[in-house]
Structure 1
Amino acid sequence: MLTAALKENLSFMVVEVARQLDETFDFLASGEVAAFQKINSRDDYIDNLKTVIENCCFTTLSEARSITQRERDSIRATHTICVNLERIGDFCVSAADQLHYLNNHAILQHFDYQRIFDLLAEHLQEVIPVLKNGDMGKALAICRAENQIDDIYKENFDKIMEALRSGKEIENLVTVLFIFRYLERMGDSLLNIGEALLLSILGEKIKIEQFQALEETLSKSGLRTNLAEVGFSSILGSRSGCRIRKVHGHNEQPQIIPQTQSSIFKEGNKEKILTEKKNLERWHEIFPGLTPRLFSHQESEETASLLVEFLPGRTFEAILLKGDPAELETVCLLLHSTVREIWKRTKKEMPVKANFIPQIMARMHSVLSVHPDFLRARQDIGSSEVMPTDELLAKCRHIEEKLAAPFSVFIHGDFNVNNIIYNAARERIQLIDLYRSREADYIQDVSVFIVSNFRQPVFKTHLRDRLNWITRNMYQMAREFAVEQGDETFEVRMALALARSFYTSTRFEWNNDFAHEMFLRSHFLLEKVLAHQDSPWHTFSLPSGIMYY
């Protein structure tokens, strides 16, 4: 819902910024003082237009009684466009102002700044038509112009560096470098404008690098279509820093993506994405159908992307909090049988160290950035001394080195309740987000599952009773498996695993009182393990109440 006034003011702003670019170019070429005064004056007008457009955008969003998501996206895109147009105007002023520091104006003419101005002018004139008509190709061309500007900047940067090595005109050359730096930043703003136009067309905020990765990944999967025909919806980015989107044909048209009506596109750090790809392939070998199918992947120098099957169904978390008791009991039984089957299929008679304490240490900085006081100092309480956190961890780490699990299994690695999917139609459990899967101690998945229940932000008695019931059943299932396998140190390793999960989970909890509860429970478990060090570990007893809230 772009009002007539909004469209008009944005059109005026594009025209004024284009004129600002023309006059900045003229000033850099001529150095006439009067031209600089015009640039300064026009910048004030551009600032005023930005304020008018912002107010109009915010008013429309807040006062409109009915507004579609498409209209909302157009308004968001318009606001982003006006902000970046104003930045280009500001960079014009800053670049022009540098001319006052040039002692030799002729030196600037040895460098090619005209091509940058030409590219900016060429693509700015396409902004309003693209916003109106939704031309994907032209929106992408606007985005990609930034790469061309970067290349021109690099050419001139290298030329300036070469000239600086001569030792002549150093101050003037540094000033020229500053001018080109402002021009390069105009290219960054043009990219932001192009990505805002993609938002208005696709209905999803996406960066050009992610768009290109998606385009290439879909192409490798066999898709041959205009991406304007593909729908996108964001899924909360994972804590590993990857961006995740659901991709589907508009109206879920199955012909858009042949393999499935919907897919998940995941893009991010190359090492992490390729590790997840490897894990998906491994899971498919071990347990076909348990995890999403991998359709295709794409690699670039620093990033990679995956296109995987979208698994229909509900997360265990959703069933846990909103499902009826009978359904929850059914899903729990199915989850337990699935987990036991995974353990049996992947069990290797090979002792493995869990390294729960090193995991706490590795995440300590993240914990303290959220809760700076979650590192206990040495304290004296009467005649007793309370051990500081650092020392407690060091002593427990020494103990843990002697407590290897008697066998390994292939674990999920992040067995939270929101990474477990129940497909009611097929009556099966499936798993997602498998980046951290590896051969390890099965207790890690159990402890992560238990604490992911514990830290659910619900405090009503009936829901807490349900969470505690789920926790109790999972623990009992794991305990029975340990007895069957002759795992005599199960309980002490579980204590360390829970200490790890309680401690490291505090970095995701802003409720300081609740986070402190987990912090205290972690220390209690570590102290209990330390107190038992002179006794046989098979006699250690985990205080079960520690798992319930």
Structure 2
Amino acid sequence: MEIRRRFSQDMEDLKIEVLRMGALAERAVDKALQALFERNSDLAEEVIEGDQEIDLLEVEIDKRCLRLLALDQPMARDLRFIIGCMRVCINLERIADQAVNIAERALYLNQRPALPHQPLMEQLATISVEMLRKATSAFSNGETSQASEVCQMDDTADELNLKILRHFIDYMIGEVQSVDRAVNTIIISRCLERCADLATNVAEAVVFIVEGVDIKHYCQP
């Protein structure tokens, strides 16, 4: 019984650490977007400087998972949970990297005249952040229904990114002097679309943990 209690506590500690990483990744994306939309370069610098904490946490979680696999030889859902945690963390770290990319582009854009307001960028930012929040909530609660919602939202993010790309291509044709700023904005849009894809991967990992469904195919139409 003592061994089982220790294992249960180790699993709970693992979940807490993954959720902490999710919160840090979400905060990084929020700050990066605030830096972009409010032209706040101090926040952009905070995102860049804070990325190391997330990287180190991923390494620590990976070690925890490997230790549990080696020492306890878990089976069934326990095994899926540990493997799922490793997959979740990989994607959270990549989301944090996208936040850094956005922050770096924001630093560049904030030093130059602002482009005309583009509501589609805000829409894509909103849906990407919402997908991340839903995905981490699904992990916290073991809710496959929330995970499914994230998967369904991904197409909308893809469509918005494509519309933004088309808009700025047209814009650059008439505003040649703004090409560098428009290109950086397109890259930010791509980063947000990538965040949405990575949030979908997190959602798929939740389904794998709860139901044992092949995560590579769960969100396919």
Q: Does 2:131 align with 1:148?
A: no
**Residue 37 of structure 1, aligned match among 40, 45, 69:** 45
Equivalent residue letter for 1:92: A
Any idea what SS the aligned residue of 1:31 has? coil
Q: Which residue of 1 aligns with 2:96?
A: 89
Q: 1:91 to 1:51 in 2, by over 3 A?
A: same
1:127 pairs, out of 117, 120, 135, with: 135
Tell me by how many angstroms 1:4 deviates.
2.4
2:115 counterpart SS class: helix
Aligned counterpart, 2:14:
6
| Cross-structure match for 1:165 | 173
Task: Structure 2: state its 5+ residue gaps.
Answer: 1-7
- Code of the residue aligned with 1:187 in structure 2: it is A
State the SS of the aligned residue for 1:109.
Answer: coil
Give the Cα–Cα distance (whole angstroms) in 2 for the partners of residues 195 and 121 of structure 1.
17
| Aligned residues with identical type, % of pairs | 23
Check the 8 A contact 2:148/2:219 in 1, yes or no. no
**1:21 corresponds to:** 29
Give the stretch that moved more between structures: 142-151 or 117-126: 117-126
Q: CA deviation at 1:105?
A: 4.1
2:201 aligned with 1:196: no
TM-superposed deviation, 1:117 = 2.6
Residue in structure 1 matched with residue 75 of structure 2 by the alignment: 68
1:49-71 CA deviation, whole Å, 9 max, x = no partner? Answer: 11111111111111114x22211
| Letter paired with 1:77 | G
Judged with a 3 Å threshold, the aligned counterparts in structure 2 of structure 1 residues 4 and 36 are, in CA distance, closer, same or farther, namely same
Change in Cα spacing, 1:212 to 1:99, as seen in structure 2 (3 Å) is closer
Distance 1:19 1:166, change over 3 A: same
Distance in 2 between the 1:40 and 1:71 partners? 35
Distance (whole Å) between structure 1 residues aligned to residue 192 and residue 131 of structure 2: 15
Between 121-130 and 39-48, the greater mean CA deviation after superposition: 121-130
Superposed CA RMSD in Å reads 2.1
> Which structure is higher in strand share?
1
Contact 1:25 1:114 in 2 (8 A): no
- Give the aligned length: 211
Answering whether residue 86 of structure 2 is matched by residue 79 of structure 1, we say yes
Secondary structure of 2:120's match? coil
| TM-score, normalisation: structure 1 | 0.36
2:122 is aligned with what amino acid? Q
Cα deviations by residue, 1:384-406 (Å, 9 ceiling, x for unpaired): xxxxxxxxxxxxxxxxxxxxxxx
Q: Which runs of 5+ in 1 are unaligned?
A: 214-549
User: For residues 23 and 100 of structure 1, what CA distance do their matches in structure 2 show?
Assistant: 12
1:120 Cα deviation from its structure 2 partner:
2.9
**1:23/1:35 contact within 8 Å kept:** yes
Q: Tell whether 2:178 aligns with 1:187.
A: no
Task: Quote how far apart the aligned CAs of 1:132 are.
Answer: 4.4
Inter-partner Cα distance in structure 2 for 1:76 and 1:119? 27
Q: Is the 8 A contact 1:111 1:156 kept in 2?
A: no
2:184 maps to 1:175: yes
The Cα shift of 1:211 comes to: 5.3
Distance 1:132 1:24 in 2: 24
Aligned positions of 1:373-522 closer than 5 A: none
* Larger RCO, structures 1/2 (Cα 8 Å, 6+ apart): 2
Contact 1:29 1:109 in 2 (8 A): no
Change in Cα spacing, 1:59 to 1:105, as seen in structure 2 (3 Å) is farther
**Could you tell me how far apart the structure 1 residues matched to 2:209 and 2:37 are?**
37
Residues 1:113 and 2:121 aligned together:
yes
What is the rounded CA distance, in whole Å, between the counterparts of 1:180 and 1:75 in structure 2? Answer: 33
Distance 1:130 1:30 in 2: 30
Aligned to 2:3: none
**C-alpha displacement at 1:108, in angstroms?**
6.3
Deviation per CA, 1:319-351, whole angstroms, max 9, x where unpaired? Answer: xxxxxxxxxxxxxxxxxxxxxxxxxxxxxxxxx
CA contact (8 A) 1:77 1:196 kept: yes
